[in-house]
Structure 1
Amino acid sequence: MKNYKNIKSFDELIEAEHGKIGTEGRNQYEEKSQMFIISEMLKEAQKDANVTQEQLADKTGTKKSYISKLENGKGNIQLSTLIRIFEIGLNKKSWIDFFIKTKKASAVADASSKLKYILRLEIF
């Protein structure tokens, strides 16, 4: 059993449960979390649009089984397919922002370790 007495934040809890950022366990957790969020967004938008999985698949050129996998957080999705599902299949608008955030560093050596990439997808 893990000791939670010294945990004071959600980030510390996630680290205790899944490991530090960049570890295999943490990467798996992050991937599953992102797929869960996408699946919930998809289910909600599909319900709002009153569209069945089959209708959505037909509109977007995918298969009903693929839509089902996505709704259950089991599938793997390309960004272009995700946008097509929301925009064409569910009449939503999407906006993508891509940021490269740099950390201040005194040395230029190993600049790649100082970069942080952020991709934000908004569906409305």
Structure 2
Amino acid sequence: MAKKEIKMYSLSEMKDEVIGKIGTPERDQYEYELSMELLGRMIKTARKERNLTQNQLGELVGVKKSQISKLESSANSATIDTVIKVFKALKAEISFNVKIENQSLQVS
């Protein structure tokens, strides 16, 4: 009896198959949600490194603790202005990388 060979897939191939190819609405939504989750984790990590509570960070930024909690759990509802204020309050340097038609723009 012959062994059946197991096909190996890369992560990129799996994303294409399960979520959709790059450029499809499903894939764009997935990538957006992943980015927002990572942003929330960065905020939480920076806050904890500064030994601040959510309430203390909220006071520095001028928002309620619940807003900081929402940012940390999923930054989907955050405006860029709020995100910038949060990182400034955390004394964290931020930069944006924007890719436009195969050109990469770096903004710090």
Structure 1 distance, partners of 2:63, 2:103, is: 30
Name the residue aligned to 2:39: 38
Structure 1 segments unaligned to the other structure (5+ residues): 101-114
Name the residue aligned to 1:9: 10
* CA 1:116–1:79: 2 relative to 1, 3 Å: farther
**Counterpart contact for 2:33–2:76, Cα < 8 Å:** no
Flag the structure with higher strand content: 1
1:96 matched to 2:88: no
**Counterpart contact for 1:66–1:75, Cα < 8 Å:** no
Identity across the alignment (%) = 35
Flag the structure with higher helix content: 2
Q: Deviations over 1:54-103 (max 9, x none)?
A: 11111111221111111111542222221210112x11122334453xxx
Letter in 1 for 2:39: I
Structure 2 segments unaligned to the other structure (5+ residues): 1-5
Structure 2 distance, partners of 1:25, 1:99, is: 20
* CA 1:35–1:98: 2 relative to 1, 3 Å: closer
**Counterpart contact for 2:61–2:86, Cα < 8 Å:** yes
Letter in 2 for 1:62: V
Letter in 1 for 2:10: S
User: What SS class does the counterpart of residue 71 from structure 1 fall into?
Assistant: helix
**Counterpart contact for 1:99–1:119, Cα < 8 Å:** yes
* CA 1:74–1:41: 2 relative to 1, 3 Å: closer
Residues paired across the two proteins, number = 103
1:77 matched to 2:78: yes
User: Aligned-pair RMSD on alpha carbons?
Assistant: 2.4
User: What SS class does the counterpart of residue 54 from structure 1 fall into?
Assistant: helix
User: What SS class does the counterpart of residue 33 from structure 1 fall into?
Assistant: helix
